[in-house]
Amino acid sequence: MSVWFTWAFLISQCFVLQIASLLHPPLNVTTISRNFKLFLTWAPDPRNPPNVSYQVAYRYMFIEKNYINGHISRRSMQLYMTTKVQRNSKWNKKNCRNITGKECDLTCLFDYTHNYIVGVRTKFGSSMSKWEEIKDISYIFTVDPEAPTLEVKFVDKSMYINAAVKTPHCIKDIYNLKYNIEASLNNAPKQIKFKEVKMNSAVILDTTGLSGNYCVEALTVFTMEQKKISQPSKPFCHLFKDEEYNSGHNWSFAVLILFPILLISGILLYVTSSPDILAKQRGQLLWIFPDSAGNCVPQSFRK
């Protein structure tokens, strides 16, 4: 039995070594950013056997820190890395170990003051492929902003607008974020009403004279060495009715209704107050005779 077991073990090890030599690292390894989060993505190599898993690891690169206005200059990083020998740290494999998916969230794994090397490799049992690496990954220069959330309320003839954005819990105090407000009336081209307002600070928009469907939306502005602007927020729309137009329209409608009534009432009043009509109502005839002064004076007598 021991001989057969030894032969089986040797054959299995040969099979594992053969599989290991055939394992290929993932393809199209890159980083993408969504809503202030940073992800490593890849595609499987079709030459690998089915049911493989993946392992992601990272290590940071030692670079000089050159702060400009509280931020690190990416240009100084690149100059330093081209003139100094890189001393890479050990691989860190805290997250995304033995996963079958094709994406790994790196957001809260990185110190925003460092640049990193990120690698992913294919695993099959105890066999592993070579690392497929991406160098010079800096969270703070790679991440893209998230669209803000609008908060709108009305006071008298003013619209109070505020915008807020959610950031990952590990980096919520890093950014000096701002936002733009764009507005559109009745599907007309959008116009920037407020530019680079500090996040969580309200602005006031005068709505006097507005008539129609008025929509506002906000965009996050994130600036490091370059300015990044998010996608628009969900628009907030409100239907305004012009008071002056409505009041004038209502008065015109009222005049059209009341004029015939007033006209008929005036005619009836004139007819009922006429002396001839009054006399006929009383059963009298009205005759006109000249008086001593030559004036015509109506006189009446009963039939």
Cα–Cα distance for residue pair 52/128, rounded to 1 Å: 10
223 with 167, same domain? yes
218 with 185, same domain? yes
Length of the chain: 303
83 with 130, same domain? yes
Cα–Cα distance for residue pair 13/9, rounded to 1 Å: 6
Cα angle vertex 60, ends 54, 64, to 5°?
A: 160
- Looking at residue 175, its pLDDT comes to 65
Cα–Cα distance for residue pair 181/233, rounded to 1 Å: 10
Scanning 59-156, the segments in alpha helix (DSSP H) are 74-83, 139-142
Concatenating the DSSP letter of every residue in 13-46 gives: HHHHHHHHHH----EEEEEEEETTEEEEEEE--T
129 with 8, same domain? yes
State the DSSP H helix or E strand holding residue 250, giving kind and residue range, or none if neither. helix 243-272
Out of 145-149, 190-194, 224-228, pick the least confident: 224-228
Q: In this structure, are residues 110 and 116 in contact, taking their beta carbons and an 8 Å threshold?
A: yes
234 with 130, same domain? no
Query: How many structural domains compose the chain?
Result: 3
137 with 160, same domain? no
- Which domain covers residue 178, as residue numbers? 149-241
Give the predicted TM-score (pTM) of the model: 0.62
101 with 157, same domain? no
Give the end of a domain, one of 122, 142, 162: 142
CATH number reported for the structural domain that contains residue 157 in this entry: 2.60.40.10
214 with 95, same domain? no
pLDDT in tens, 166-208: 888 777 666 678 999 999 998 888 888 999 999 888 999 988 8
107 with 119, same domain? yes
